[in-house]
Structure formats: structure tokens, C-alpha cells
Amino acid sequence: MTTAEQDTDTARALQGLEDSRSSVRLRAALAAGSIPDARSVEKLVERCAIEPEFYVREMLTWALTRHPASLTVPRLVAELRSERPQARSQALHTLSKIGERQAWPAITRALLSDGDEEVARSAWRAAAVLVPEGEEAELAGALATQLGRGGRETQLSLSRALIALGEAVLPTLRAAMTDLDPRVRHHAVATERLLRDPDAGFESAIEEAKRVAALQDRPGGA
């Protein structure tokens, strides 16, 4: 492909990202990833922040992973400071897919406890992927502050992030099992069970946690 042809294809793809039809935007994102061009990075990141369709956002993320990390990671890290929750969430999701650990310092406690659940969940997943060796226990402590938060999907996301840290998470989980908040205790017990038995369902793990807690709360314990 000549330089002129690539320029034309890149321009067409970037224009397609603005189309009102999601099918056209999907094809445009595919094209942008199929023929990586440094000039596409800014537009791809900008589109991630506002794209309403999940499957198009996933293709945008894929397209960004096809570009050099030296170009994408700094731009995505900058996006973590956006006031738009979707911009932060999608940037975190894309960073987790790129897997470049130079982004680790940008995964702040503020993001791990973000008020928007989608942002927080994306931050948990990204942190579990990017955490440097030896810092798993510290990350577990930060993640544990979110135990008991949200509904089933949010709690399951946090459990998966904690489980990804391996045995380093056990002291933190055991400490959380004595928390005054029953939601925190149940979530910690369920996560520890899933760590021991990955095939156990989350719902059954939560129910067992509640049952165990009820027995322990009886006079004289279980």
C-alpha cells in the first residue's frame, strides 16, 4: 500500500467514526485497527469517551491495542483525568487490554474507589492486570475497602480482581471477615471461598457466607 492510499484509508476510517450508524462506526474502528496509523490514536480515544454502543467500544479498544503502546498508553493515562465517567472507564479497560505496566502508577486509589461503578470496576480489573510483582498485598488492601459495595455484578467484579492476586489476598480477606458491616463480611467470605474453589458460583458463595455468619452470630458460636 502506498503512503497516499494509507492516508486515504485512515481519513475514511476516522470520518466513519462520526457516522450516525453504529454498523458504519464498527467497520471504521475495524479499519483503524487493521491498518494502524499514529494519526488515528487521538480520534479513537476521543470516540471511546462518547461511543454509545458496547460492541463498537470493544472494537475501538481493539483498534487501540493494535497501535504502539508508546503512543496509546500516555494518551489513555491522560484520559483517566477526564470528568466523563465513560472516558475514564474505557481508558482503564483499554489499558488492561494493552497490559503495559508503565501505566500502573496511574491506577490511583481515587479510581479504585470512583463513585461511578463502571469506572471502579474497570479500575479493579486494570489494577489486577497491571500490578507489579510484590505489590499484590498492598493492592489487596486498597481493593478490600470496596468490599460489600454495589450489587451482584459489582461484587463479583471485585472478587475476581482480588482472586487474580492469588494467595497474597488472604490476610486482607480474613481481616475483612471480622468487619462490623455484614455486607463486607459476607463478600469477604464469599471471595475467599471462590479463591479456594473457582468452580463455586458467586451466589452460592454469598449464601454460604451468610449461613456461616448466622451460625457464628448465635450465642456460643457455630
pLDDT of residue 9: 78
- Residues 91 and 216: their CA atoms lie apart, in Å, by 43
The per-residue pLDDT for range 87-123, each reduced to its tens digit, is 999 999 999 999 999 999 999 999 999 999 999 999 9
- In order of 7, 122, 213, the CA distances from 139 in angstroms are 44, 15, 26
pLDDT of residue 8: 75
- In order of 61, 82, 97, 159, 200, the CA distances from 91 in angstroms are 8, 10, 10, 21, 31
Q: What homologous superfamily is domain 11-130 in, according to CATH?
A: Leucine-rich Repeat Variant (1.25.10.10)
The per-residue pLDDT for range 161-198, each reduced to its tens digit, is 999 999 999 999 999 999 999 999 999 999 999 998 88
Q: Where are the domains of the chain?
A: 11-130, 133-222
DSSP conformational letter for 113: T
The pTM is what? 0.89
Confidence category of residue 5, pLDDT binned at 50, 70, 90: low
Residue 158 in grid coordinates: 471485585
- Residues 200 and 222: their CA atoms lie apart, in Å, by 23
Q: Count other Cβ atoms within 10 Å, centred on residue 174.
A: 12
- Residues 162 and 205: their CA atoms lie apart, in Å, by 15
